[in-house]
């Protein structure tokens, strides 16, 4: 392989090389330092005169004397069955002291878009055991549902609880977790690893760790390596894969860093204008392919800078993903776990996975009714602060009360409390029964007669 020593400029993570043979766009590049160490990079711009290489590691040690080798191929990930149970670096190298991965295949890490025509319809209900998800923001297989959180909130616990408890009721199919950490601290990583080891989840997991002190640019490839692995497990080996990506905010920061180094015209808040397309290239790698057994379900986690949901990172994410689970600082302060605020939370695929044949016929309407009642009660809290409880009408007082017990009994649950969907709906009906029946305008009479505790108990008493 030809080695060039024609570096003309090094700026941030970018290396500029001159007078090369024709080099392909997106090619993998090896940079050989004076001491023989090899750093990896990728071609970002190529022309007769100049090639721009983005280095995935720190550029420390690279100088005009460094050698550049163009490999002639795009970045590929070696994947194999024995990856399960392994811990890899953010660049895909084993860091658990074990042997190298024996590759069964080498796959392009960019991944190709699933042809919309070949996609299967996601409609298998996943029970996470968390009421605020199962009951009101239901997750289905093949969905991408991010957790929008803030600094200092327990999103990691929630993610772990989901990873631990998730199952499709009644199914015993092969299941795997791919975990990709981007720029999280060693402490946080340990927290995940210990939990994986304690619960035995590590055996069926592949872990990619790019820690806070690892090169930021490496974060660009970490989620792509993770998803390439996930695609192999799902579509080649037929497993149902849950992918956890944390923290996407660090990924976007890395993207901005590279954009700035390339002197690109910045978009909102300095993030590159193509961030939507770039993020879509990650999030859209979830789903089901018709005629294949496996599936990829994604749980990206991001921390909203300043808890601002309109910040470009949560904003663009929300436009690509199929809903979001919003973690609330207010509920967290009240000591409620999991502090999921259902009002801004949403699962777009919920309707495909609930109802008769999936969960229960009353699911949708119970959920809608609780949402409406909780929203109304929550609004009234603002009013009470001004006029006091006494100025409220009888009806308003009931809704105010409902908001409190909704948070106390439906939202609040234990870190290892695994509720079935029946439990969740029963709690829902019990809460709704505190309101007068005629206020339940979103539920039709038949369902009220069948499930409302007042009628079911009366029925039992008579029978």
Task: Please list every residue from 228 through 247 that binds other proteins, using CB under 8 A.
Answer: 235
Q: State the DSSP code for 410.
A: I
Distance CA 453, CA 431 (A): 10
Distance CA 292, CA 269 (A): 41
- 199 close to 164: Cβ distance less than 8 angstroms: yes
Least separation in angstroms between CB 253 and other proteins: 18
- Does 346 contact other proteins by CB under 8 A? yes
Distance CA 346, CA 324 (A): 5
* Piece in contact with other proteins (CB under 8 A), picked from 11-19, 149-157, 338-346, 424-432: 338-346
Least separation in angstroms between CB 458 and other proteins: 20
Q: Give CA angle at 246 (242, 248), nearest 5°.
A: 115
Among 387, 461, 462, 463, which residue interacts with other proteins (rule: CB under 8 A)?
A: 387
Residue 203 CB-density burial (10 A; 0-12 exposed, 13-18 middle, 19+ buried): exposed
CA-to-CA dists, residue 317 to 114, 138, 322, 451, angstroms: 19, 18, 9, 38
Among 60, 100, 170, 265, which residue interacts with other proteins (rule: CB under 8 A)?
A: 265
Least separation in angstroms between CB 321 and other proteins: 8
Q: Return the number of the residue (41 or 183) whose C-beta is nearest other proteins.
A: 41
Kindly identify the residues of this chain, within the stretch 11-70, that bind other proteins according to CB under 8 A: 22-27, 44-48
Distance CA 299, CA 348 (A): 14
- Does 330 contact other proteins by CB under 8 A? no
- Does 74 contact other proteins by CB under 8 A? yes
Among 11, 38, 113, 151, which residue interacts with other proteins (rule: CB under 8 A)?
A: 113
Among 81, 268, 381, 450, which residue interacts with other proteins (rule: CB under 8 A)?
A: 268
Cis ω for the linkage preceding 141 (within 30 of 0) = no
- Does 264 contact other proteins by CB under 8 A? yes
Among 3, 65, 73, 404, which residue interacts with other proteins (rule: CB under 8 A)?
A: 73
Among 66, 131, 138, 143, which residue interacts with other proteins (rule: CB under 8 A)?
A: 143
Q: Which tokens sit at 218?
A: 């490496």
Instruction: Look at residues 170, 160, 169, 144 and name the one whose alpha carbon lies nearest to residue 421.
Output: 169
Residue tagged 């601002």 (tokens): 308
Half-sphere exposure of 211 (CA within 13 A, CB side): 12
Kindly identify the residues of this chain, within the stretch 407-446, that bind other proteins according to CB under 8 A: 438, 441-442, 444-445
Q: Return the number of the residue (90 or 142) whose C-beta is nearest other proteins.
A: 142
Among 116, 170, 306, 463, which residue interacts with other proteins (rule: CB under 8 A)?
A: 116
Q: Return the number of the residue (116 or 463) whose C-beta is nearest other proteins.
A: 116
Least separation in angstroms between CB 226 and other proteins: 16
Close Cβ partners of 230 (under 8 Å, ≥ 6 residues apart) = 178, 241, 243, 285, 296
């Amino acid at each position: 392989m030809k080695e060039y020593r024609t570096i003309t400029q090094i700026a941030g993570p970018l290396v500029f090389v001159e007078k090369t043979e024709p080099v392909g766009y997106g090619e993998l590049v090896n940079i050989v330092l004076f001491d023989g160490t090899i750093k990896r990079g990728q071609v970002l711009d190529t022309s007769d005169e100049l090639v721009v290489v983005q280095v995935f590691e720190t550029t420390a040690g690279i100088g005009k004397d460094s050698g550049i080798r163009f490999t002639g191929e795009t970045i590929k990930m070696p994947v194999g069955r024995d990856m399960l149970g392994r811990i890899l670096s953010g660049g895909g190298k084993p860091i658990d002291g074990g042997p190298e991965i024996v590759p069964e295949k080498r796959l392009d890490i960019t991944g190709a878009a699933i042809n919309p025509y070949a996609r299967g319809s996601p409609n298998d209900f996943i029970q996470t055991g968390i009421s605020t998800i199962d009951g009101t923001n239901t997750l289905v297989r093949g969905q991408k549902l991010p957790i929008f959180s803030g600094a200092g909130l327990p999103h990691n616990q929630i993610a772990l609880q989901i990873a631990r408890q998730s199952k499709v009721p009644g199914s015993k199919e092969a299941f795997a977790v791919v975990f990709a950490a981007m720029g999280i601290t060693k402490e946080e990583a340990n927290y995940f690893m210990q939990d994986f080891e304690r619960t035995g989840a590590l055996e069926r997991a592949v872990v990619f760790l790019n820690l806070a002190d690892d090169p930021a640019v490496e974060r660009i490839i970490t989620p792509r390596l993770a998803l390439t692995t996930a695609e192999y497990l799902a579509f080649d080996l037929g497993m149902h894969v849950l992918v956890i990506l944390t923290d996407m905010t660090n990924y976007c920061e890395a993207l901005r860093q590279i954009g700035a180094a390339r002197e690109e015209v910045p978009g909102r808040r300095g993030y590159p204008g193509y961030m939507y397309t770039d993020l879509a290239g990650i999030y859209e790698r979830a789903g089901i392919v018709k005629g294949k057994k496996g599936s990829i379900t994604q749980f990206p986690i991001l921390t909203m800078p300043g808890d601002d949901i309109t910040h470009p990172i949560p904003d663009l994410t929300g436009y690509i993903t199929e809903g979001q689970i919003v973690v609330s600082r207010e509920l967290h302060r009240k000591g409620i776990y999991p502090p999921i605020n259902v009002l801004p939370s949403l699962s777009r695929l919920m309707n495909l996975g609930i109802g008769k044949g999936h969960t229960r016929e009353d699911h949708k309407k119970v959920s809608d009714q609780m949402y409406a009642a909780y929203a109304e009660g929550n609004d009234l809290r603002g009013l009470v602060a001004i006029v006091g409880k006494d100025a409220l009408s009888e009806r308003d007082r009931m809704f105010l009360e409902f908001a409190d017990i909704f948070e106390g009994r439906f939202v609040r649950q234990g870190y290892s409390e695994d509720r079935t969907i029946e439990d969740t709906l029963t709690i829902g009906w019990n809460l709704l029964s505190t309101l007068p029946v005629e206020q339940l305008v979103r539920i039709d009479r038949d369902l009220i007669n069948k499930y409302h505790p007042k009628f079911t108990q009366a029925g039992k008493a008579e029978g």
